[in-house]
Amino acid sequence: MFGNLFEEEEEEGFSSTTSRGRVAKGGDEPPPPRGRNNLCGIKNQGGTCYLNSLLQTLLFTPEFREELFNLGPEELGCLEDKEKPGAKVRLIPLELQRLFTRLLLVDQQSATTADLTDSFGWNSSEGTNQHDVQELNRILFSALEHSLVDTTGSTFIHRLYHGTIVNSIVCKECGNVSQRQEDFLDLTMCVCGMSSLEEALWNMFVEEELFEGNNLYRCAQCDRLVTAAKSAKLSKLPPFMTMSLLRFSFDFAKCERYKETKRYSFPLTINLRPFCEQTDGDDYDYCYELFSVIIHKGGCYGGHYHVYIRDIDQLGQWEPPEEDCKPKTQKKVKAEVKEMCEPKLKEDDPLSVLTTIIAQEPSKSVLLDQLGQKLMDKIGSSWSKKFRKHYGPIGKFLQSHSGVFLLVSNGTRVALKANPPSPVTEAPGPAQRTTNSVLSTSPDQGAAEELPGLDQKPEPEIEQGSHWFDLNDSTVTSIRESDIEKQFQGKESAYMLFYRKTQLHRPSEALNNPQYKVPHHLIQLAQEENIRLRQMREECDASNNTVELRLHLAPCYRLRNGALQPISKEPTESTTLSFDRRKTVGDLRLAIYQMQELWEGDMALTVAKSLPAGLHLYNTLTDDSVSLYSAGIYTNSDLFVWNGREVCGASVLIGAEWEPVLLNVVRPFLGEDGEQEMEEGVESEKIRGGFENGGPGLKKEARGFAGGATLGEVREALGEPKESLLCQEHKGGKREREEQGAGEGGGASGWRVFPPDDMQRTLKDLSLKDGDALLVLEPQSFDSSVFTLNGDVVTVTTPSDCRWLQVEFRPHEGGEGEGEKEEERRKIKVPATGNMLLCEVKQRATEELQLQEQLSGVQFCLRQVDCTGKLLPPVCEELSVRDAGVRLMTTLTLCPGNAPKASQLFLHFSVGTALSAGLEMDIIVEKTCTVKECLKAMLDAVGLDGTCWHLRRLDWCEEVGEALMDEDASLSELKISNGETLVVTEGQLPPKGFLKLSVWLYLDPRNNSTVSMETDFNHTDNGHTDEQMLVESTVGETHSHSSHLCGGNMAELRSVGQVEISDEVSLEDLKTQMLTLPALQDVCVPTTAFMRVWQLEGGRLARILRGQQLTLKKLKLTSGTDLCVQQLLKEEDLGPKDVLLNVKMGVPGERSYYPPEEVVWDASRDSSPRSLRTCLAAHYGLSPDSLRLAKHQADKHTWEEMSNWNQQVSKRKKKKKAESLLGAPFHLKDGDIIGIKNLLIDNNRDFYTLEDEQGQQRLREQAEQRRKGEQATASDGAGSQKKAGATKSRKPEVALSINVGVFR
């Protein structure tokens, strides 16, 4: 009739589902159980809301439902036989039976119609094509009648819905009556020109149409044209009367469709006696009552269907709607009663307010995400404005008062401990719902179990008009009978009306009994489905609440360097324990007691964290009654098990303020036995690991100190006298050494001396962090030419006699084994400079060691040795000492093997899923070769063949990491560096369920922590070059004018690598894996809440990913997405409606702005300009009326001013409508720039700056150039065709059809 009726008004947000295509059958997570009303919705396949509304109406027509259930398998066949040739299986009624059974008996929030639409013969695209529900009603009834041919139910549609109309024409001259009977299943009622259903019925069945004048009627008896009167009457009334309202019409003047939205009322009960041919019966023969209203919301080209239904058999549990749905008089009376009966609330006490709110709820519990709104309704102010400053976030307040509040329903609801939620009013669990409401064997017993413990009878006004529900696809909510009047008019108005005769009474055994008249085999199927769903939910619940804990036992640790260090070097100091986080701390303590049978004395459990300096302790879990969830314990949390006082006799300081800092203590080693001192320095490196900040003439040692320790205490701990100087490396010192040619000798580095006042400051106050260098000098050190003191700066100069390289000959590749002869390990010092080629160093060492004859015909190469004694990749002998990155005064090893050229890479590789010590092999390949060619070369080297192999990299912890997905990319394009290890892994490339995400680092000069991240990033050798820096254009353009005020405030994005991760993990897991990237190892955040993750689109910050526990699939992340990591100075947990804005206050009297500030605006309750103005006024401490706001469009260099009026008036309805900033025309989102003018001190109300005008001029010039180019290309007529085809085209209208087999 109307074809594709629903494609235009997508901005209305009518569809309750965003899925495209068919609904998937099954999934990883079980479907949620039914809600409190105990009714089941229907999933929308993308455009099947019209089908869902009609199916729910038929389900809640008990007589239709029972007639369908009366048909058994002997008549309809079995679905299992539908593939058998010659079998007559009536698919449509069978699938309809199963769907009705699921809706009645299966404990799930919504059922799918995929099987039913398959029986219609619809393909996958039919689920997204929406049609007219009136057309579907007729086609579905026709399909059912054809499907039920030659069965006992072949006439049940006719019995329930069939009626007749008698059309009569009476001749005014002879009185002859000509009659014609017309059948109907539904009546089409005119809306245009009518004000009510009664008026339309009167116009159709009471008023006569006269044939006169030029429009005469030919009478068969008079045999000529005569004056006549035409009328129609209802001859036979069906048990169910369906009224289809003609709201869609066609305007022939404008040649377009339109929808009638004016008021059109209809009664809840109607007497059709005045419209019938026979009127001598009783009134109840003509009386009908309304039980279903299908509602259309939208226009003639788009919209959404949902249905209001009266639950005749009372299968659902009706509850009063929210307070805002009640009449004002009722709310006023209820408020007066509350004021009389309740004591005065202490609005300044959050504990009193929250306990009162929860205690007044019928279920004695409140959803966590609704608690803030109920608080606002109770005291007229939000938690953030009234209590957050003194009590913190509401979630932490609830956790800190665990003795009063209790989290239930997997942490989604909060209740009072002294008054736990009632099992009646709280949403029942799957087991309760299945046994009590869905599959109760006795209707009386089921009704009794549904209402235990009620102290008082329901109020009469609640019972009156009850059991009306709004079924909107998957959502089912209670409504009042008075809410039907709201559907008389407007864009959301009634479209189909369903009446039933009032004389149709239901038997008492049908009330509250969803199993009534359901066949036994279908009940059994529903029971099996409920058992399967319950098992799935139990397994899913257990899986979601099981956390992996790492237990660290005190006897395995000792206090050293300000942190806890494992006594044994073997990685067995922690024990992994899987535990249910819903259990309490006391349960966990008992479980650990059972694991550690030899434990004696008290046991304290303290949250710990592994830091570079070692293990550090934070807060101790003291309340045994608190659950692990409430205590903030999650997967991979570290817990330290001890007595709470000491570890191995040493007291341990706990807390964030005592976090240890790992410093590299640097001392001079130039003495009489310089070479021996150097060797000791090398040994120190072997013990502590390599350190970049050390230079020639210095030895270094990693030491940990408590962050709360003063610099003077650090000096005492080092055993240095008070006269010693402590120095910190000057910023840029490393860069200066490189620029001055440290490899040449004679280079210098600068160190700043800490003044005496800093000796009383703590390491944290001095901003010393892990990895920072601390130079310790005694006064006599300045007697040498190496150290020079100039003011408060110490210069360390490399002496000229340190220009040498030591070459050690190893005839056998590998480490120095015990069997190797001492005479074979010969060493020689070769004079060298930074410009000397390494091939010259090799030649000199060969000559001085007299190895010419021994090395003839054998390839040897030079290799460096790291601090652990491991051989590094061979150096390229075509390069100089400096270009190859070799430092003077270090040792090179002469080993068997080939040296790579400048265009080649030396790679390690191993075959298998894990690395094995000593089984690595080496290969030299060209940098330009592809991954596929490199894989083939490695397989040839080990004698393997086949195509079922792929290459993987190693991650930062030397484990098999991400796969090289692009086999046609070159090694240089993939940033594979010299000496990298690849793993040849058996199997095809990983499936596409894994996401490959590029990670960028957000660098903002305004943020000191971000700058430190930038410094650490620059010190990290991760293979990225400066070419991988991306300047964030949006921020750059927006802040171009403010850069003069804040010192060039230009944000940068730098690539830090890629992560490969499943799309089923949570956002919190993604943040954790991001921190494992080598470039982010030095980033220290207490929790992942101190990280903000942006999604990039076109190189711009598009949106903030929020919801720590949401999966990447639900966040709609796809492979190849660019993400940006931003470190925060405080925790952030943005809600779904929180908007992060960059706010800039205008400089009074100038066309410029102060540096921007980040402000979080809560738009969940009110998204109007007034709400934003109030938020910003509170942030700046100003009056809302004194602020003028505008949004900056960076791409257009324009400002959109926000009106001071918070409401707009619709001329048509004379009704005030709130303007939302989240919609048109502003569409506020994360990262938007908001300009503010303070009208009290700033007379300049123009938001535009000089940079904006310059940007607009550039845009005009670019547009003019494009226009001239289009004119040149349009000379051949192509431009006009392109312009003509720019109009929006609608999809072709597709006729609705249902395919039915032949059963005659």
Q: Could you check whether the bond before residue 238 is cis, i.e. omega within 30 degrees of 0?
A: no
Q: How many CA atoms lie within 13 A of 212 on its CB side?
A: 7
Q: Phi then psi for 969, rounded to 5 degrees?
A: -80, 150
CA distance 775 to 777: 6
Half-sphere exposure of 210 (CA within 13 A, CB side): 5
CB 1021 within 8 A of CB 1091: no
Q: Which long-range contacts (CB under 8 A, 24 or more apart) does 454-461 make?
A: 454/424
Distance from C-alpha of 11 to C-alpha of 29, rounded to nearest angstrom: 30
Verify whether residue 867 is a known catalytic residue: no
- Which residue in the list 296, 304, 616, 1041 is annotated as catalytic? 304
For β-strands 1187-1193 and 405-408, DSSP reports them as unpaired
DSSP label of 870: P
Set 49, 171, 276, 861: catalytic member:
49
Question: Between the CA of residue 503 and those of 287, 312, 403, what are the distances in Å?
Answer: 8, 13, 57
- Contact indicator for 797, 788 with CB cutoff of 8 Å: yes
Helix 91-105 with 62-69: angle, nearest 10 deg: 120
DSSP string, 597-651: TT--S--EEEEEEEETTEEEEEEEE--TTSBTTTTT--TTEEEEEE-SSEETTEE
What are phi and psi for residue 1103, nearest 5 degrees?
-155, 155
- Tell me how far CA of residue 966 lies from CA of 346, 398, 819, 1176, in angstroms: 65, 50, 46, 49
* Cβ pair 424, 451 in contact under 8 A: yes
**Helix (H) and strand (E) counts in the chain:** 30, 60
**Rounded CA gap, 775 and 753, in Å?**
9
Element holding 921 (H helix, E strand):
strand 921-926
Give the residue ranges of DSSP H helices in 79-124: 91-105, 114-119
The H or E element spanning position 246 is strand 240-246
304 in active site = yes
> Which residues are CB-contacts of 498 (< 8 A; sequence separation ≥ 6)?
57, 61, 240, 241, 242, 243, 290, 291, 292, 293, 294
Record the tokens describing residue 530, joined without a space.
Answer: 């409920």
Distance from C-alpha of 367 to C-alpha of 414, rounded to nearest angstrom:
6
Q: In what order do the strands lie in the sheet with 413-416?
A: 365-367, 413-416, 405-408
Say whether 447 sits in a helix, a strand or coil. Answer: helix
Give the separation between CA 669 and CA 787, rounded to whole angstroms. 12
CB atoms within 10 A of CB 1295: 9
Residue with tokens 């400002």: 1199
CA distances 821 to 810, 817, 825, 855, Å, are: 10, 9, 7, 18
Supply the DSSP string of 1123-1147, one letter for each residue. EEEEE-SS-----TTEEEEEEEEBP
Active-site annotation, residues: 49, 304
